[in-house]
């Protein structure tokens, strides 16, 4: 039998998203080896149970796991504070230190990092939802997280903080425990399920080492273009900021001779006064300002681009008229400011000499 516990310690954690503690990592022995994915065979309480009053949660796996492996893979939304884990073969018992809140919906997620002693994982993350009251929250928020270069953010960790009128726009949310926490899948897509109705401030973190913590200076943060996201929102987009301006591709201001270039043109569907469109490769970046017609649709055109494969993106600039053009603003956590609204074309666009790619349209969504 193995056991583990982790008390909450504000002095050593920036984010108290999971509980943790001491555990032996000696792999359990015995039983035939097989390649079946890791699964939960039984849980108490059962999924979607109501009026749960117990402080003990039991899980039965189809393979043996260690206390340490389970401890590092558990996510509670909202947080339950301190708890103990006891492992006996394939059976796990979670004992909560303090009584669960009344009339609260809880979700326990075993994330994609969980492996048993043979390296077997879940085919998909496992989630157990139950309520200490007579109903279960059924609100959702979903979206996608992308890296600064618009590739899927496969290591994204998404935190949701319920609106607190007393601290709106002030303080560093990353010093607080999030109300809900989920991981993105391999496409960068995420979804909060069974959350309470209301509005949330949401932060995405590039959790590169999968430790469910934010590492300042080595992990990026992403914000969407809305400060408060109402429950029920879908198709949100978060883009990670860059760690260093030095990593930006160089801006090419003087394109090659027209005889050796191609073009890209399209429309931008967005609100705002000015839309900046960028065409980027790993080594170069071009930008132009879209012009708006009488119907409110923005048109843009790159007429002299060197041949290559380009990512086409656009953002709604907040700069005032006649101000110097500035890069896309990713927002900030403290004070909490949303990113400038942006969008991007989902596929790479190929430019060839003497050839123009047309109808490369971009939608910039704002809640």
Burial of 89 from C-beta contacts in 10 A (0-12 / 13-18 / 19+): middle
Please indicate, yes or no, whether residues 153 and 232 belong to a single structural domain of this protein.
yes
Judged against a pLDDT cut of 50, whether residue 17 lies above it is answered with: no
Banded model confidence at residue 72, pLDDT cuts 50, 70, 90: confident
Q: What is the mean pLDDT of the chain?
A: 84
**Mean pLDDT computed over 216-226:** 92
105 or 21, greater pLDDT = 105
DSSP state for residue 253 in the 8-state scheme: -
Please indicate, yes or no, whether residues 149 and 240 belong to a single structural domain of this protein.
yes
Q: Specify the pLDDT at position 319.
A: 62
**Mean pLDDT computed over 270-287:** 90
DSSP state for residue 260 in the 8-state scheme: G
Out of 44-58, 69-83, 142-156, 194-208, which region has the weakest mean confidence (pLDDT)? 69-83
Please indicate, yes or no, whether residues 150 and 107 belong to a single structural domain of this protein.
no
Please indicate, yes or no, whether residues 157 and 69 belong to a single structural domain of this protein.
no
Please indicate, yes or no, whether residues 129 and 55 belong to a single structural domain of this protein.
yes
Alpha helices in 145-196 (DSSP H): none
Boundary (domain end) residue, out of 202, 228, 247 = 247
CB under 8 Å to 14, separation ≥6 — which residues?
A: 174, 175, 213, 214, 216
Give the H/E segment covering residue 305: strand 298-305
Out of 13-22, 156-165, 190-199, 326-335, which region has the weakest mean confidence (pLDDT)? 13-22
Distances (CA, A) of 312 to 153, 263, 268: 18, 12, 11
243: left (phi over 0), alpha (psi -120 to 50) or beta: alpha
Please indicate, yes or no, whether residues 295 and 355 belong to a single structural domain of this protein.
yes
Whichever domain contains 91, its CATH number is: 2.60.40.3710
What's the token pair of residue 176? 């607080």
Please indicate, yes or no, whether residues 281 and 199 belong to a single structural domain of this protein.
no
> Which range marks the domain in which residue 349 is found?
248-363
The pTM score is 0.80
Judged against a pLDDT cut of 70, whether residue 3 lies above it is answered with: no
Whichever domain contains 172, its CATH number is: 2.60.40.10
Please indicate, yes or no, whether residues 86 and 63 belong to a single structural domain of this protein.
yes
Number of domains in the chain: 3
Banded model confidence at residue 24, pLDDT cuts 50, 70, 90: very low
Boundary (domain end) residue, out of 227, 247, 267 = 247
- DSSP for 87-119? EETTEEEEEESSPPPTT-EEEEEE-TT---TT-
Judged against a pLDDT cut of 80, whether residue 115 lies above it is answered with: yes
Please indicate, yes or no, whether residues 122 and 146 belong to a single structural domain of this protein.
no
Return the ∠ at Cα 95 (arms to 91 and 97), rounded to 5°.
165
Please indicate, yes or no, whether residues 169 and 235 belong to a single structural domain of this protein.
yes
**Residue 334: Cβ within 10 Å count:** 12
**Mean pLDDT computed over 150-158:** 93
pLDDT (tens digit per residue) in 223-257: 999 999 999 999 999 999 987 654 444 445 455 56
Specify the residue for token string 């139950």: 130
308 or 367, greater pLDDT = 308
Please indicate, yes or no, whether residues 3 and 131 belong to a single structural domain of this protein.
yes
What's the token pair of residue 67? 């206390």
295 or 252, greater pLDDT = 295
Boundary (domain end) residue, out of 221, 247, 273 = 247
Q: Of how many residues is the chain composed?
A: 367
CA distance 60 to 51: 22
Judged against a pLDDT cut of 70, whether residue 23 lies above it is answered with: no
Q: Specify the pLDDT at position 175.
A: 85
Please indicate, yes or no, whether residues 144 and 201 belong to a single structural domain of this protein.
yes
Whichever domain contains 328, its CATH number is: 2.60.40.1120
Phi/psi at 71 (nearest 5 deg)? -55, -40
Torsion of CA 294, 313, 339, 151, to 10 degrees: 150
């Amino acid at each position: 039998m193995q056991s583990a516990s982790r008390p909450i310690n504000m002095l050593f954690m920036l984010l108290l998203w999971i509980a943790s503690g001491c555990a032996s990592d000696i792999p359990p022995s015995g039983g035939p080896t097989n390649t079946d994915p890791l699964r939960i065979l039984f849980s108490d309480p059962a999924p979607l149970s109501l009026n749960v009053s117990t402080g003990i949660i039991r899980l039965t796996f189809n393979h043996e796991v260690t206390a340490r492996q389970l401890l590092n893979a558990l996510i509670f939304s909202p947080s339950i504070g301190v708890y103990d884990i006891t492992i006996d073969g394939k059976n796990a018992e979670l004992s909560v230190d303090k009584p669960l809140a009344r009339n609260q919906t809880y979700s326990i997620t075993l994330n994609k990092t969980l492996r048993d002693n043979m390296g077997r994982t879940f085919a998909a993350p496992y989630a157990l939802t139950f309520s200490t009251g007579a109903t279960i929250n059924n609100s959702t928020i979903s979206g996608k997280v992308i890296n600064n270069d618009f590739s899927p953010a496969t290591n994204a960790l998404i935190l949701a903080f319920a609106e607190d009128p007393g601290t709106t726009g002030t303080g560093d949310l990353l010093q607080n425990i999030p109300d809900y926490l989920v991981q993105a899948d391999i496409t960068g897509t995420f979804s909060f399920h069974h959350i309470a109705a209301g509005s949330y401030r949401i932060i995405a973190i590039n959790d590169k080492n999968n430790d469910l913590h934010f590492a300042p200076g080595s992990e990026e943060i992403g914000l969407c273009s809305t400060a408060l996201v109402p429950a029920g929102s879908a198709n949100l987009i978060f883009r990670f900021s860059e760690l260093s301006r030095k990593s930006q591709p160089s801006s090419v201001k003087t394109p090659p001779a027209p005889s050796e270039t191609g073009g890209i043109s399209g429309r931008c569907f967005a609100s705002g006064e000015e839309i900046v469109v960028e065409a980027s490769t790993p080594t170069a970046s071009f930008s132009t300002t879209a012009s708006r017609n009488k119907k409110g649709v923005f048109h843009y055109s790159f007429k002299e681009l060197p041949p290559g494969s380009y990512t086409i993106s656009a953002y709604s600039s907040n700069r005032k008229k006649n101000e110097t053009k500035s890069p896309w603003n990713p927002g900030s956590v403290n004070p909490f400011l949303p990113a400038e609204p942006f969008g991007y074309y989902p596929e790479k666009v190929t430019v060839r000499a003497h050839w123009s790619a047309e109808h490369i349209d971009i939608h910039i969504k704002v809640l």
